[in-house]
Each structure stands twice: as structure tokens, then as C-alpha cells.
Chain A
Amino acid sequence: DQQVKQNSPSLSVQEGRISILNCDYTNSMFDYFLWYKKYPAEGPTFLISISSIKDKNEDGRFTVFLNKSAKHLSLHIVPSQPGDSAVYFCAARGGADGLTFGKGTHLIIQP
């Protein structure tokens, strides 16, 4: 049973617009959430994170929102740029052993 779900396998957004990537989770014990970005033939790279005691964290063009009551988080990228085209993984931590990842969403930024 998937504890971290990214229900959109792909998302296409026009350059300059806002990209919104969504992630849902089922385990209420998760206390820390992360977003990773992955280019082809490379490993995932850390992008931004948020603790469960916060509802928003912003870093430049990237903002992560957390809605604990809905067990939902989202990553906003604005403005979207061609270099943002990649697969984005949502991950959650609920204990001491490793992270639980979603399947990823392939973001495509169109010129």
C-alpha cells in the first residue's frame, strides 16, 4: 500500500506560468517532507523540505505548502523555466529508517 502518492504521472506547463505538483500521504506519523528533482541519467537531487510543524516553506521560485488535516502537500514553482523540466519526487519521513517516496511526476515546461 502506497503511503506517499503522486497521482499525476505527468504535468505540462507553459514557460513563465506556475507549476503545481501535488502529493498526498496516508501515514499521520510522517513528520518531515521533502521534494527531489531528477534529470534523466542522474540521481535525485534535494530541492526543498518542510517540517510538519509548518505549513509553508519558500526558497526562491520554489514554495512547498503542507495541509496536515488533508494529508496533502504541494510544490509551487513560479515562474516555470525550461530547466525545471524533470521528474519531481515527493518523499516523507516517519521514523529513523529512510524516506518513503512517491512515484514521481514528470514536469514538462513548454516554451
Chain B
Amino acid sequence: ETGVTQTPRHLVMGMTNKKSLKCEQHLGHNAMYWYKQSAKKPLELMFVYSLEERVENNSVPSRFSPECPNSSHLFLHLHTLQPEDSALYLCASSQERGLDYGYTFGSGTRLTVV
């Protein structure tokens, strides 16, 4: 048990569907992150939340919409995705944004867009 739980573990969705990824941490951390891992590419930072405040990331398409209702929960809402959005989506948390602590990652959601 890593302390960061992601659900679902696997998701297959059509391009017209709307779905949400969920992340929950029980570590008392106050910063949470969404990363995307595509094949043969580095982990890409998508969104950062610190103390439930979102740091804007203009390079992420608007079909990805994050939500952080409290410091323990983070969602990624998905709508009208493209096949190239198929990837492993990883959630992570840390004690504080930007400090010298290793992030704790969840196991990820393997997303396939068909």
C-alpha cells in the first residue's frame, strides 16, 4: 500500500464518453499532481495542486479538467478524448509543493481511448 490510491486501475472509453479518474492520499500531504506517461516518453506533468490551489498548465488540452475538492482527493475529468490520449495517468502527492521530499505515486490508471 503506497498511501496514494488511484481508481480505476484500467479504463477503456470511447471518444464521446465522459469519465473521471480518482486519486486519494492518506499521507497528510498538501500537494497533489497529475502526470501522464506515454510510451517511450518522459513522465509529463499535467497539473499541480498545492493547498487545493491549482497551478495553471496551459499546455494541457481543455478536454482534461482537474478537480481538487480537498487536500486528500484529486480528480481528473475526461471528455471527448482522442486515441493519442491513451496512456498511464499517475497521481502523486508530496508534503509541500516544491520542497525536498520525494513524491509518493499511486499505481496509475491505464487509459485506452477507442
Contacts and interface: CB of A to CB of B under 8 A. Distances in A.
A and B are partners in one complex rather than unrelated chains? yes
Interface string A12-52: 00000000000000000000101010000111111001010
A7 to B, nearest CB: 12
A89 interface: yes
Interface string A92-103: 010111111111
Interface in A44-100: 44-46, 49, 51, 89, 91, 93, 95-100
Q: Could you say which interface size class chain B belongs to?
A: 20 to 34
Nearest to A102: B42
Interface string B3-45: 0101000000000000000000000000001010000111111
Contacts of A96: 97-98
Q: Could you say which of A41, A44, A96 has the most chain B C-beta atoms within 10 Å of its C-beta? A: A44
A45 B105 contact: yes
Nearest to B9: A41
Interface residues of A, number: 27
B100 interface: yes
A2 interface: yes
Interface of B: 2, 4, 6, 33, 35, 40-45, 48, 55, 90, 92, 97-98, 100, 102-108
Interface of A: 2, 4, 9, 32, 34, 36, 41-46, 49, 51, 89, 91, 93, 95-104
